[in-house]
Structure formats: C-alpha cells, structure tokens
Amino acid sequence: MPAKKEYLSSSGQRAIKIATAILGGYFLSITFHLLLGALLPTEGRNIVLLTSTFTLFFLWGILMVLPFLAKSAWKILGLYILLTVVFSIIIYFIR
C-alpha cells in the first residue's frame, strides 16, 4: 500500500535533506573535532586526532539521520551551517 502524499516531502526538500545529511554532517563533525583539539593541551591534541577517526564516523552517522527526522530541511541546514561557523570562529580565535 503506497504512502499518503501528505507525509512525503517534495523532491526539493529531499535533495536538501540529502545534501545536508552528507555534507553538513561531515563539516559539522570535522569542525567539532577540530574544536576539541584546539581546546585541549598539546598532549590531548594527539589523542583527539587518533580517536577522531572512529568518533567522527559515529558522529557523522548520527548527524546524517537528523535531517530526515525534521519536517523542514532548511532549519537543519541553517543549524548545521550556524554551528559550523561558530565552531570555526572559536577555533580561529583560540589559535
């Protein structure tokens, strides 16, 4: 039995959700780990770089699911961009 049309998102929303999930989630994961590395002392940076290989994948997977749970892809895209920019600004001023 096919799904009701009212519960399906439009093709534009679907494309934004996919792009946000893949690219936005990846960039947010990267900037989060870079922020962790910038906040920790020198010895902690090495640990963050080593463990980020695994934790980045898990965080990216979680962040890839979130756009598909939201009704509006634009809100999630805006949130991902805002957090990425905030993390980048904090990293810039720390370094």
User: What is this structure's pTM?
Assistant: 0.85
User: What was the pLDDT predicted at 77?
Assistant: 94
User: What was the pLDDT predicted at 57?
Assistant: 93
User: What was the pLDDT predicted at 3?
Assistant: 66
Other CB atoms within a 10 A radius of the CB of residue 39 amount to 13
User: What was the pLDDT predicted at 8?
Assistant: 64
Residues sharing a CB contact under 8 Å with residue 29, sequence separation 6 or more, in sequence order = 56, 59, 60, 63
User: What was the pLDDT predicted at 2?
Assistant: 64
Positions of the chain with pLDDT under 50: none
User: What was the pLDDT predicted at 7?
Assistant: 62
Distance, CA of 24 to CA of 1 (rounded, Å): 34
SS3 call for 72: coil
